[in-house]
Amino acid sequence: MRAKATLVTGAAGEVGQALVRRLAGSGFCQGRRVLTMDLDPLPAELSAHVTHVQGSILDTSLLERLVSEYEIEEIYHLAALLSTRAEFSPDAAHRVNVEGTLGLLHLAAQQSEWRGEPVRFIFPSSIAVFGLPDTATKEKYARVREWEWNYPTTMYGCNKLYCEMLGIYFGRHYRQLAADRPTSLDFRAVRFPGLVSAFTLPSGGTSDYGPEMLHAAAQQKPYACFVREDVRIPFMAMPDAVKALVNLAQAPLEALSRPVYNVTSFSISAGEFRDHVKRFFPDAEISFAPDLKRQRIVDSWPADLDDTAARRDWGWSPDYDAERAFAGYLVPNIRRRHGNEAGSTTPDGA
Ligand code: AKB
């Protein structure tokens, strides 16, 4: 008999490591094995608790091998190339972000059919699916709702928006003309703001200036921020990102009024981000040297997200506002990590 499993792709990435730590405390997730996948190995303290497969989500024979060994009941599909990286390699981004997602949706659809029960497919989307045409519009529409301004300006944003559509299609309409329409998968997505972890640094994103500023300050390194001081987007501390994914996965299907939800925690400008950092690291050398191209991308993202639907339908509520995120999670853990304070750290998801 095949072992029941929860599959996490992109498991060695920022969100992946935090999520795996949360899911794999005991090596099992509600009786399921935690099966992780990434091009990179997992850190040793995580790989001891899960079954890690090192490889690409584009490798169809690897995916076939997985389903021959495991009955996959739930998928957290986190693997993706982020927005800045995707602009430098748009074809590769399309392959990984779209073709990779399509392959996993097929796998989930096939597993749902075999089981006669929907496989839950949890997909992290992004504020990058929004595209506001100019800063005046951004100011006017400060808290966007899910269906507003879906005009992404990046390859990554286009990929995420299209994959949301694909997920909805696979969940609701896949093989709609077949006489014996099989059980569909259960697709659920959250649109994340910029994420900030005390333990890992993002790579290839455009919201990275926040975490980069903070980690540089903790290491006494000067930092030149690549966006203007006044630019504002929403952010979220990593424990809240993990909480959003897990809570959405656990929500009863009948409570969900939509397949894709905005989630957010706090909206601050790059200057306010600097002020929070300087409160704790007063000697930090932070300057602003905007890169006009990356700046344009951040200007097209909303200043804040309206997450009313997530709050209403599945009780979404972040644990960390800006004050708690800096004072209670980011700064103490980063200080200990970089050796300027004693004590033990509690990694994301632990
Ligand atoms: C990025 O900057 O590409 C990501 C995102 C906003 O989804 N952090």
Per-residue pLDDT of the chain (350 residues; tens, 9 = 90+): 889 999 999 999 999 999 999 998 765 677 889 999 999 999 998 998 899 999 999 999 999 999 999 999 999 999 999 999 999 999 999 999 999 999 999 999 999 999 999 999 999 999 999 999 999 999 999 999 999 999 999 999 999 999 999 999 999 999 999 888 778 899 999 999 999 999 998 889 999 999 999 999 999 999 999 999 999 999 999 999 999 999 999 999 999 999 999 999 999 999 999 999 999 999 999 999 999 999 999 999 999 999 999 999 999 999 999 999 999 999 999 999 887 665 556 677 76
- Output the CA 81–ligand 1 centroid distance in Å: 9
Residue 155 in any domain: the answer is yes
Predicted local distance difference test score (pLDDT) of residue 28: 63
Q: Residue 311 belongs to a domain with what CATH number?
A: 3.40.50.720
**How many domains in the chain?**
1
Ligand 1 pocket mutation pick from 195, 201, 233, 295 by most atoms within 8 angstroms of CB: 195
Residue 91 in domain:
yes
Does 143 fall in a domain?
Answer: yes
| 37 C-alpha to ligand 1 centroid (Å) | 21
- Find out whether 217 and 90 touch, Cβ atoms under 8 Å: no
Ligand 1 pocket by C-beta < 6 Å: which residues?
82-83, 126-128, 156, 192, 194, 202, 205-207
Residue identifier of the C-alpha nearest atom 7 of ligand 1: 126
Residue 69 lies in a domain: no
| Residue range(s) defining the domain that contains residue 139 | 80-200+235-266+304-319
Measure 341 CA to ligand 1 centroid, in angstroms. 30
Centre of ligand 1 to C-alpha 313, Å, is 25
Q: Is residue 134 part of a domain?
A: yes
Nearest to 284 by CA among 204, 197, 198, 225: 225
- The reply to whether 247 falls in a domain is yes
Reported pTM? 0.96
Q: One-letter amino acid identity for 41?
A: P
Residue 9 covered by a domain: no
3 domain residue, yes or no: no
